[in-house]
Amino acid sequence: MIDDLFLIEKYAYRKSLVHNLDARVKIAVTFAVIIAIVAVPYSTMVYPVGGIFFIFFTALWGVSGLSPIVYLKRLTMILPFGIFLVIFQVFFRNRYYEAFTTIATLPFGIEVYAESVEFASILLVKFLVSVSFIILLSSTTKTPDLLEGAGRLGLPAEFTLVLGMMIRYLYVFGYMIRKTQQSLETRCFDPFDRSLPYRYRLEKLAYAVGTLFIRSYEQGERTYVSMLCRGYGPKSHIYIAKKSMAVRDWAFLFTGLLVAVTVPVMTWSRLLPYA
């Protein structure tokens, strides 16, 4: 996952209408859409809401000028655990349906239910919409801007300071991991090579992890000393300048919140039809 950091940063530093928006409004709209889709009950009502949210996402992704391949690449990195949970739903009865209709019987008496397939698809829609907006947020907003935006929205100073330093060190760790992996590869070491004893592979990996930890800590100390030289003290905090929002930021915030609120309400009141 840490390798993705460089990929994410590469796309976040581009310029577009979406990239140029204030981080605060992007954070607010992302949270609003995710809360809205999660708030929709586990019913077929999710389909129209999810569909419109996804069209909204697609429009924003199009305006951002990023390739659909970038989205698909990032999506495939996130999917595994969620997809595992979705796929297994088809074999279980759940409390959201009263009656279950068997549509297929597999070996060992495993049954697939129509209602469970529907429930799995509902979870998938919710999951995909949530993940897509997170991908949009992080692919179009630089991490320092995200941090400043979160700080302006009220994230406590202790968190912004440590989070800022943590993000900086993530890159240090990222480079170190890359170097370590290259070093292991040049010595023909593959942790997934089954011809090597398992304990040996684990031991080498554990030493690599421990070494990375200490090296990063020592890097942290050097950074700390240089920070002291520049006047760092217990009262230090990240300075976040006040920033007013442009008309386009307000417009995006208004549109985003309008979509996040009105689409589920209209669907719930049957103004948007669903089966």
Residue choice 17, 104, 206, 271 for contact with other proteins (CB under 8 A): 206
2 binds other proteins (CB under 8 A): yes
How deeply is 128 buried, as exposed, middle or buried, from its count of CB atoms within 10 A (0-12, 13-18, 19+)? Answer: buried
Residue numbers 208-227 binding other proteins by CB under 8 A: 209-214, 216-221, 223-224, 227
Residue choice 63, 167, 238, 245 for contact with other proteins (CB under 8 A): 167
Residue choice 69, 99, 187, 198 for contact with other proteins (CB under 8 A): 198
State how far the alpha carbon of 42 is from the alpha carbons of 46, 115, 153, 210, in Å: 7, 12, 31, 44
58 binds other proteins (CB under 8 A): no
d(CA 138, CA 49): 23
Q: Return the closest-CA partner of residue 128 out of 50, 43, 199, 55.
A: 50
CA 165 to chain centre: 20
Closest CB to other proteins among 233 and 244? 233
95 binds other proteins (CB under 8 A): yes
37 binds other proteins (CB under 8 A): yes
Q: Is the dihedral of CA 56, 17, 159, 224 positive or negative?
A: positive
104 binds other proteins (CB under 8 A): no
* Minimum CB distance to other proteins, residue 96 (Å): 6
169 binds other proteins (CB under 8 A): yes
Residue choice 110, 166, 246, 265 for contact with other proteins (CB under 8 A): 166
Residue numbers 172-191 binding other proteins by CB under 8 A: 172-174, 176-177, 191
* DSSP secondary structure letters along 238-264: ------PPPHHHHHHHHHHHHHHHHHH
